[in-house]
Amino acid sequence: MTIAHQLGFLALLSVLTLSVTFPVLPLYLEQLGYTTAEVGLIVGIMNLSLAASELAGGYISDRIGRKAALLWGYLGSALSMLWFALSRGSVGIYSSRILQGIFRGLIWPPLFAEVADAAPSDAHGRTFGLFWFYFSIGILIGPLVGGAIADRYGLVIPFFLGAGLSVVALPILQRVREGGKLPETSRSNLLALSGEAPGVYLLSGANLVHTLITAVWSTYIPLHAARQGLSPGEIGILFTLQGLAFSFIQVPAGRLADRSSLRFLAGLGILTRAGLVAATPLATDFPSLSVVSLLNGIAGGFVPLTISTWVARIVPPRWAVTAMGVYNASVDAGFFFGPVLGGLVAVATSLSSAFALCAVVGLAGLALLTRTQDPL
């Protein structure tokens, strides 16, 4: 197995750790007695700590090595998810989610930097397309497995499964570079990055917008679907359909990204997904929700690939881990603000309004893309 495939498989396991819980997390928290706003906060708080951790992830990786950072990330993720599954009180629920975010923040920056290093200069799109293909397989099969297990054994069991999947990743980290103490000029420096490649921050802002839209959908679609009479297993199928579409668009999208305008592809993906999420409340049965899920996967499939490829093209190699830390922090900031903002809107008005909010948010993402420097 080549290094690109090994890195992709690590991404798959990282995604599976969480995606097996996607269909059940909001339902499980409601079962424990949390309100809709509290569900949004608990879902989002992990992503806030994850975003903060990823901003420091480049600094930590520079000093302990990429492999060590990944080992700590996967092991800590397993233990914190196990703690969540065993917790019943608010202290354990909130604390375990925060810790899970901190440990997962050690995974993504070095993993993305390894992918950028492994990519030929003229094939960033194809290399990231392969990586995102593995990523999307995790989105595809995780909710299906998690929903089926929850139907049969209970809502808490997918969390134990997620912890186990993190452990599976540990023996696979053989090809990742150990890393060493880097010279001062090569170390992570967020301020220096802003001077050399300011477009990273604009792209990360657009990426945050897209992730916020995604997070509103993934957090509140289980609640909307359950109120339409769908079971946890059927909700898992909705996530799987989205993952299926996202997965199969990656390889052709990667080839397209090497030949077409990244700005156009990313902008079209953000605006289309924003419209689909805003229209989700109009879907009130399993068939119509299935169609929305498939279209969501296709539109969203272009955005992470094109933006991560864009970042890789405009960033000098010495800033790769730092830049990917900023990029991934924007993902998780979106996954924090999406559930929290959606929950507040849902409580103040209605669940439908939380979805509708995304139509306006999508325009902000497009504005940020228009201001970013062209990729090489």
Cα 222 from Cα 7, distance rounded (Å): 31
Count how many domains the chain has.
1
Residues 6+ apart with CB under 8 A from 66: 110, 113, 114, 176, 177, 178, 179, 321
Residue 132 in any domain: the answer is yes
**DSSP labels for 102-135?**
HHHTTTHHHHHHHHHHHS-TT-HHHHHHHHHHHH
Residue 296 in any domain: the answer is yes
**Distances, alpha carbon 181 to alpha carbons 68, 118, 192, 320, 326, in Å:** 13, 21, 19, 16, 21
Q: Encode pLDDT of 54-87 as tens digits.
A: 888 777 877 888 888 899 999 999 999 999 999 9
Q: Which pLDDT score is estimated for 183?
A: 46
CB-CB contact of 143 with 19 (8 Å): yes
Residue 179 in any domain: the answer is no
Instruction: Tell me the pTM.
Output: 0.74
Residue 236 in any domain: the answer is yes
Burial of 49 (0-12, 13-18, 19+ CB in 10 A): buried
Residue 359 in any domain: the answer is yes
Q: Which pLDDT score is estimated for 198?
A: 79
Q: Encode pLDDT of 178-206 as tens digits.
A: 554 444 444 446 666 777 777 888 999 99
Q: List phi, psi (to 5°) of 178.
A: -65, -40
Cα 189 from Cα 193, distance rounded (Å): 6
Residue 37 in any domain: the answer is yes
CB-CB contact of 200 with 307 (8 Å): no
The HSE-up count of residue 172 (CA atoms within 13 Å, CB side) is: 23
Domain hosting residue 52, numbered range: 3-173+194-370
CB-CB contact of 242 with 15 (8 Å): no
Residue 178 in any domain: the answer is no
Q: Which pLDDT score is estimated for 122?
A: 65
Q: Which two tokens stand for residue 245?
A: 């579409």
Residue 138 in any domain: the answer is yes
Q: Which carries the bigger pLDDT value, residue 132 or residue 282?
A: 282
| Mean pLDDT, residues 138-157 taken together | 89
CATH of the domain at 232: 1.20.1250.20
Q: Encode pLDDT of 293-309 as tens digits.
A: 999 999 998 998 899 88
